[in-house]
Structure 1
Amino acid sequence: MGNILIVEDESIIRSALKRLLERNGYKVTEAESVTEASQNDLNNFDLIISDLRLPGAPGTDLITAASETPVLIMTSYASMRSAVDAMKMGAVDYIAKPFDHEDMIRTVRRVIDDHQNRSKTEAQISNPDALADDIYTDESGDRAALGDLVGSCQPMQTLYRRLLRVSPADVTVLIQGESGTGKELAARAIHQHSPRRDNPLICVNCAAIPESLIESELFGHEKGSFTGATAARQGLVEAAESGTLFLDEIGELPMEAQARLLRVLQENEVRRVGSVHARKVDVRLIAATHRNLKKLVKEGRFREDLYYRLQVIEIALPPLRERGKDVLEIAEHLVSKHSRRLKLDNNARLSKEAKEVMVRYDWPGNVRELENAIQRALILADTGEIFSEDLGLAQDDWSVPETLASSEPVTEPTANNADTGSSAETQEELSLEDYFQHFVVEHQDNMSETELAQKLGISRKCLWERRQRLGIPRPKKGASNAAAAR
């Protein structure tokens, strides 16, 4: 079943663990220290189980020495932080002493199975053709997508590598990022490239469930455990058995639910609301938040022990404003995706002017805001071409380029301009709205919308909104062309 090396200086624990593993069909080799363990070819083992504190070098030295073999660290509860540090160094997991026999065998079996499947998974990942629909590269050879994540910028390249690195390792992952950056998409990518990919992925938004119901929803309940509990019900943790549980906005989880979740992570068991019996579960947890959990810990609003359990692997998602021209790559992808979904046959495309605006825009709502803007534009666009006014972006979040900020100022109309009226008194009392209306009416036949907006020092969206408010229609293309010809 597997070849295991035990590194433990206490002979009683070492002998007991050896007997337990051999009874379950494993071949076992013993060592009392890192030095003695290193006399073996460490990469010939399927698993190394090592105490954290050993005479001489610590057990974590084996992580580097056995680069191809997973290392499971044993430690006492008092050394919880040291165990978390060990996992950051590359330990596959840790287990507390004194350990439960069933828990130890379950962990050993899981780690060895993952190790044996990992080479197959990595071979698939290294071959783009094997996952052509999921991972593809752009002209430069950079990865341009992973699952539903899209983008070729350097921060995304780093993100893809990290996601693929942690996917096969069955450890807890904490994803951090602003709202709308794609935290659930990252969780799905991890699940899809893990050995659990053929089992359920259960996604839960902790902020969307009322506090009074969240424990029942996550952990289940027994019949009669509270008013309205007319039958026993399985929770979402149990529903994710053998798969992955994704808890979005975990910072919103109430303290009582945090305690129950900690037990799931520590003991691999769940106790339903109203039950005195615990049920064993095999679930990988991926959590996500846009909040600062460390700050919540200091404020007493998040359990410190749960925080350390969650932060084994941390992954940060870059905001859209830091991803450069990825916004256009994502936009093109979304135009294609939602055109199919909405069954549009107008061959929708982004205009050059819309692309310029999208690159300048700050996207406070990140990819979620971009997706909403694309869907809106596809529905409202008069033709197959999408302009900035179709996107409905908030003007306050536009970054005005220096070229527009320094545009030639518009000379205020005077009484000498025949089209603005003959009364000098009228010209002296022109309001901003009057000035706007006179200027647009005078110049719209020989200027494009972009040129008008630039001359007025406003955005195309603002120009469009003022047209609507003042009832100034855009000239017909034929009239505009005739004027230009004259």
Structure 2
Amino acid sequence: MPYRIFVVDDDRHYARMMSYRLDKNPDYRVKVFHHGEEVLAQLEEEQPDLILLDIMMPGLDGIEVLRRVMARYPDMLVVMVSAQGVIDTAVEAMKLGAYDYITKGQDDLLKLDKVVQNALEKVNMRRELETLRGEVTRRYGPDGLIGESPPMQRVYRLIQKALRGDIPVAIQGESGTGKELVAKAIHYGSSRKHGPFVVVNCAAIPRELMESEFFGHEKGSFTGAHSRKIGKFEQADGGTIFLDEIGELDLDLQAKLLRALQEGEIQRVGGNETIAFDARVISATNRNVVEMIRAGKFREDLYYRLFQFPIPLPPLRERGQDILLLANYFLREYTKAHPEFKGKRLSLEARRAILEYAWPGNVRELKSAVERAILLSDEDEIRVEDLMLAGERVIAPWNERMTLAEAAEHNFAQVQPRAPSEGTPGGDGEAHPMVSGIALGHDEEEIVSLEELKRRAVERAYRLCDGNVDRAAVELGIGRATMYRLLKKYEITT
């Protein structure tokens, strides 16, 4: 699919030069506009993958156009084009949400190629993620998997690998992180997608009815059993059974579940018939199952049966810029379903507050907060007070000169847990691909300052990624803006 690029510049000569340079790439489809009003009108009909927007224009200048674009299309990638003397204005544009900026000049046309390439790699990533979550979103509505942060990219890669086989998957994460959505993504992306997807909430079913819920029962097998009931495992035959909150099962039922999984067959309560089933098992929990095993509350043999392919889900507070992606997504979806609220948007202060908040209830809490704020706000712009975020903050408010993207990455860095060492609960014993052999330089006898270790890691990542800043930033687990700052700080040539 070709990339659609809008060039917006009242300087017809420079706009023509940019267009001519971009048109050399057969994968680009370029449209040129000379006034801000023109491109805003066109956006009503068509949204491009990238906008190259001049700052100094008559009528609506680039900053005002950017402000309106971000209010209406907050995920749009916009690169600002500035004259040499308006760098401060370009910095202001970055605060408003611009992806990057370049300055005008013959030499800077060379930088144009790299900036456009980096931006379109981000478009590529979005397209790949959209393909992965498309089946879930189409089938189950708007609450699909959303996120582009390094932690979520790792989740997407694990989901893709889980599709290769049929072994049991265990999804671990706090409440509200989207465990069921991951289970659906695996089911509907697998060879079992045409079979049933059966959900069992182990925390919501009374203990005395759980066995019947799992395996079914025969008529008259106990008081109240007025007819035969088909259990969830039978219902899931040929598809997937999702055991949510598996940590809530009592030990007696854990033993029966283990036997059913080992033998691939069950018996209904009160029945003698052995019934074979073929269902992939995906389980989920927000509890530390290793600690439960130590406390004698979870069977170790069942753990090894269920947790063959673990997928850890990050809490929302560790997902950086994803927080704003999700907030804007929920805002759009709610106003789309309720047209009377069309035009609502998050103020800059509200977006900052959203990034600063710790979100103990994760994505579920964010969705509720945005929808509540829409109802509470009296103006088109949603204020901080409308969000009613009275709980814990991740960090203190940041420097006002930070862009929102930088603030998100700063918060993200503040809450990152230490990587578990090999052999510790939660550790997989695998070093980060861009850490092993980079920071330490393979020389155990050399004593190096922490600052020098950081410089080496940044430089090595940049070289190994062939100068691709976005890819190097992802591999190092930092934001793109942070990567640029470090490259400049350590005078690493880009």
Separation of aligned partners in 2, 1:286 and 1:343: 38
Give yes or no for the alignment of 1:354 onto 2:350. Answer: yes
How do 1:392-403 and structure 2 match up within 5 A?
392-397=388-393, 399-401=395-397, 403=399
* Gap regions ≥5 residues in structure 2: 1-119, 134-143, 401-494
Aligned twin of 1:247: 243
CA, structure 1 residues 265+351, in 2 after alignment: closer, same or farther (shift >3 Å)? Answer: same
TM-score normalised per structure 1? 0.53
Separation of aligned partners in 1, 2:339 and 2:222: 47
Could you list the per-position Cα deviations for residues 250-283 of structure 1 after superposition, in whole angstroms to 9, with x for gaps in the alignment? Answer: 0001222212221221111111111122200011
SS in 2 for 1:149: coil
Aligned twin of 1:116: none
Q: Give the residue type in structure 1 aligned to 2:392.
A: D
Question: 1:338 deviation in Å?
Answer: 2.2
Separation of aligned partners in 1, 2:164 and 2:333: 29
* Gap regions ≥5 residues in structure 1: 1-135, 405-486
Larger CA deviation: 317-326 vs 258-267? 258-267
Separation of aligned partners in 1, 2:186 and 2:231: 23
SS in 2 for 1:161: helix
Q: Percent same amino acid at aligned positions?
A: 49
Aligned twin of 1:224: 220
Question: 1:172 deviation in Å?
Answer: 0.2
Separation of aligned partners in 1, 2:340 and 2:129: 26
Separation of aligned partners in 1, 2:233 and 2:188: 19
Question: 1:399 deviation in Å?
Answer: 3.1
How do 1:79-478 and structure 2 match up within 5 A?
138-139=122-123, 141=125, 143-145=128-130, 146-147=132-133, 148-397=144-393, 399-401=395-397, 403=399
Question: 1:375 deviation in Å?
Answer: 1.5
Aligned twin of 1:94: none
Q: Residues 241 and 281 of structure 1 are in contact (CA less than 8 Å); yes or no, is this contact kept in structure 2? A: yes
SS in 1 for 2:217: coil
Question: 1:395 deviation in Å?
Answer: 3.8
SS in 1 for 2:228: coil
CA, structure 1 residues 359+144, in 2 after alignment: closer, same or farther (shift >3 Å)? Answer: farther
- Which has the bigger relative contact order, CA under 8 A and spacing at least 6? 2
Q: Residues 174 and 286 of structure 1 are in contact (CA less than 8 Å); yes or no, is this contact kept in structure 2? A: yes
Could you list the per-position Cα deviations for residues 389-417 of structure 1 after superposition, in whole angstroms to 9, with x for gaps in the alignment? Answer: 2122124336322559xxxxxxxxxxxxx
CA, structure 1 residues 372+262, in 2 after alignment: closer, same or farther (shift >3 Å)? Answer: same
Indicate the structure (1 or 2) with the bigger Cα radius of gyration.
1
Separation of aligned partners in 1, 2:350 and 2:238: 46
CA, structure 1 residues 213+185, in 2 after alignment: closer, same or farther (shift >3 Å)? Answer: same
Q: Residues 138 and 152 of structure 1 are in contact (CA less than 8 Å); yes or no, is this contact kept in structure 2? A: no
Q: Residues 202 and 244 of structure 1 are in contact (CA less than 8 Å); yes or no, is this contact kept in structure 2? A: yes
Could you list the per-position Cα deviations for residues 35-74 of structure 1 after superposition, in whole angstroms to 9, with x for gaps in the alignment? Answer: xxxxxxxxxxxxxxxxxxxxxxxxxxxxxxxxxxxxxxxx
Aligned twin of 1:442: none
Q: Give the residue type in structure 2 aligned to 1:194.
A: S
Separation of aligned partners in 2, 1:185 and 1:402: 33
SS in 2 for 1:141: helix
Q: Residues 346 and 383 of structure 1 are in contact (CA less than 8 Å); yes or no, is this contact kept in structure 2? A: no
CA, structure 1 residues 372+308, in 2 after alignment: closer, same or farther (shift >3 Å)? Answer: same
CA, structure 1 residues 351+292, in 2 after alignment: closer, same or farther (shift >3 Å)? Answer: same
Separation of aligned partners in 1, 2:188 and 2:339: 28
Separation of aligned partners in 2, 1:250 and 1:401: 39
TM-score normalised per structure 2? 0.52
Separation of aligned partners in 1, 2:229 and 2:238: 19
Question: 1:185 deviation in Å?
Answer: 0.7
SS in 2 for 1:213: helix
Q: Residues 358 and 392 of structure 2 are in contact (CA less than 8 Å); yes or no, is this contact kept in structure 1? A: no
Separation of aligned partners in 1, 2:340 and 2:210: 40
Q: CA RMSD in A?
A: 1.9
Separation of aligned partners in 2, 1:181 and 1:258: 25
SS in 1 for 2:378: coil
CA, structure 1 residues 380+144, in 2 after alignment: closer, same or farther (shift >3 Å)? Answer: farther
Size of the alignment, in residue pairs? 269
Q: Give the residue type in structure 1 aligned to 2:385.
A: E
Q: Residues 137 and 144 of structure 1 are in contact (CA less than 8 Å); yes or no, is this contact kept in structure 2? A: no
Q: Give the residue type in structure 2 aligned to 1:141.
A: M
Could you list the per-position Cα deviations for residues 360-398 of structure 1 after superposition, in whole angstroms to 9, with x for gaps in the alignment? Answer: 111111111101111211222213322222122124336
Q: Residues 336 and 342 of structure 2 are in contact (CA less than 8 Å); yes or no, is this contact kept in structure 1? A: no
Separation of aligned partners in 2, 1:342 and 1:202: 31
Q: Residues 344 and 382 of structure 2 are in contact (CA less than 8 Å); yes or no, is this contact kept in structure 1? A: yes
